[in-house]
């Protein structure tokens, strides 16, 4: 990576919201592991740690659980 190319900082504060004094997560939680966020893409939701993917039309498993 060149010196003039800087990677954008991860803005974790955008994933939460404070409402009535409580911290609320904006992104959905993974059904496999409730403590993990799912990434929200244009056409799907995906959990990088467990491999679980949900599309708008159907729910599917990418990685079989062992």
Q: What is the pLDDT of residue 22?
A: 95
Estimate to the nearest angstrom the gap between the alpha carbon of 18 and the chain centroid.
Answer: 19
CA distance linking residue 29 with residue 55, whole number of Å: 15
For position 7, what pLDDT does the model report?
84
Residue-level pLDDT at 36: 85
Where are the domains positioned within the chain? Answer: 28-66
The pLDDT tens digits of the residues spanning 10-45 come to 888 888 999 999 999 888 888 888 788 898 888 999
Q: Which run of H or of E encompasses 17?
A: strand 16-19
Helix (H, G, I), strand (E, B) or coil at 11: coil
pLDDT at 2: 62
Rounded CA gap, 8 and 36, in Å?
22
């Amino acid at each position: 990576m060149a010196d003039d190319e800087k990677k954008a900082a991860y803005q974790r504060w955008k994933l939460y919201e404070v409402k009535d004094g409580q911290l609320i997560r904006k992104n959905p939680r993974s059904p496999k592991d409730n403590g993990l966020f799912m990434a929200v893409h244009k056409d799907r939701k995906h959990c990088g740690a467990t491999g679980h993917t949900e599309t708008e039309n159907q729910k599917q498993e990418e990685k079989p659980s062992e």
